[in-house]
């Protein structure tokens, strides 16, 4: 147990330093090449912080543990919105870029629905994986072309990471070195944490799907958590929100796509995932629209709501896995009280945002 505890602590330390280096290097690189910080968050940072999910899912799929691979992607996407954006918004209200509302969030919703459709036959095969990966190439190409056309003036909130106005910019190789070191620390720290956490979860007797949806999902999402919170603290809110949304898109197109191609027989999609976990992932993505649209910001209370729902979701997974006696009462409360209240709240937020836009 002492060794496992040391692994967890070392992993968290690497994550904190890795997030700081990655955000600083990415922000300065954006300044050097005239790329908008939001695009950096949606591409470089999002792909880099999705590296742990890619490594874990590909390894799990190749070794035949498809439940872990699928659970890791689905659980990470739910974690990215509810836990990461929730914690980041609690630290400081988040400003949501208009592009996220009109392009990236609808795209995230559409891809989530596509993954559910592809998995309805009980398997995401190699052909499905190729389709997802081709979508990734198209998405990244579109972002880069759009960024070059729109210009890349760096806003005020990035000056802290870039340096004082008028100061001599750091050489590009130093920025690249910071990014590489940051990614290495994030991947290494995440692997250490997941290794220790999986050992503990296995001792508790949890299934592979639940381990993937909870322990591994949170562990591999720690880079996103650390990066987004650090970005908020440094005032880089475009990177914080863009990182979470971009990571979800990358997880579905890149991580799930590559894992499906590498897996000998594709990735099996169990009934539990089709009936509950994938619909929850879609619902969480849809919930972003009214909240993001309301004033193009995520307030602290909305972040607290996201975080509370992640706690409820995780509690349900644990009760379901252990077939606890409280599962029935918990499910009833969730279905008849929590979900209707959530739908009413989101509807009220959306209507209020629509009225404000009309005025």
Report the b/e string of 8-45 with b at 16+ CB within 10 A. beebeebbebbbbbbbbbbbbbbbbeebbbbbbbbbbb
Read off the pLDDT band of 158 (50, 70, 90): very low
pLDDT value of residue 55: 74
What mean pLDDT do residues 132-147 have? 83
Average pLDDT of the chain to the nearest whole number:
78
The helix (H) or strand (E) run that includes residue 267 is strand 267-268
More confident residue, 21 or 279: 279
Q: What percent of the chain has pLDDT over 90?
A: 13
pLDDT in tens, 176-235: 888 889 888 877 887 787 777 777 777 777 776 788 788 778 877 777 787 778 778 877
pLDDT in tens, 326-358: 777 877 777 777 677 777 777 776 666 666 566
Domain boundaries, the chain: 2-310
Cα–Cα distance measured from residue 105 to residue 96, given in angstroms and rounded to the nearest whole number: 11
Task: Write out the CATH class of domain 2-310.
Answer: mainly alpha
Read off the pLDDT band of 163 (50, 70, 90): very low
pLDDT in tens, 302-314: 889 899 999 998 8
- 297-298 and 94-95: which strand pairing? antiparallel
């Amino acid at each position: 147990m002492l060794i496992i505890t040391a692994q967890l602590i070392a992993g968290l330390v690497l994550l904190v330093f890795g997030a700081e280096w990655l955000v600083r290097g990415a922000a300065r690189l954006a300044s050097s090449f005239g790329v908008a910080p939001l695009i950096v968050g949606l591409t470089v940072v999002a792909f880099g912080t999705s590296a742990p999910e890619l490594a874990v899912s590909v390894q799990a799929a190749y070794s035949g543990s498809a439940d872990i691979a699928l659970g890791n992607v689905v659980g990470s996407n739910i974690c990215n919105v509810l836990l990461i954006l929730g914690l980041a918004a609690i630290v400081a209200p988040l400003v949501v870029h208009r592009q996220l509302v009109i392009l990236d969030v609808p795209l995230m919703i559409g891809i989530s629905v596509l993954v559910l459709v592809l998995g309805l036959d009980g398997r995401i095969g190699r052909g499905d994986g190729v389709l997802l990966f081709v979508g990734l190439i198209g998405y990244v190409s579109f972002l880069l072309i759009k960024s070059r056309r729109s210009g890349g003036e760096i806003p005020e909130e990035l000056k802290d990471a870039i340096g004082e106005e008028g100061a001599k910019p750091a050489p590009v190789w130093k920025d690249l070195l910071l990014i590489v070191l940051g990614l290495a620390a994030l991947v290494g720290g995440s692997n250490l944490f997941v290794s220790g956490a999986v050992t503990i979860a296995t001792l508790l007797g949890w299934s592979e799907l639940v381990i993937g949806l909870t322990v591994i999902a949170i562990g591999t999402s720690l880079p996103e958590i650390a990066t987004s919170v650090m970005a908020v603290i440094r005032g880089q809110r475009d990177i914080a929100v863009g990182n979470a949304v971009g990571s979800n898109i990358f997880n579905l197109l890149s991580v799930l796509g590559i894992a499906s191609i590498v897996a000998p027989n594709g990735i099996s999609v169990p009934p539990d995932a089709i009936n509950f976990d994938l619909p929850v992932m879609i619902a969480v993505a849809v919930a972003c629209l009214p909240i993001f649209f309301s004033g193009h910001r995520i307030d602290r209370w909305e972040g607290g709501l996201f975080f509370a729902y992640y706690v409820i979701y995780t509690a349900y997974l644990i009760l379901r896995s252990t077939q606890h006696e409280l599962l029935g009462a918990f499910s009833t409360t969730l279905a008849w009280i929590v979900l209707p209240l959530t739908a009413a709240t989101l509807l009220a937020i959306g209507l209020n945002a629509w009225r404000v836009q009309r005025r």
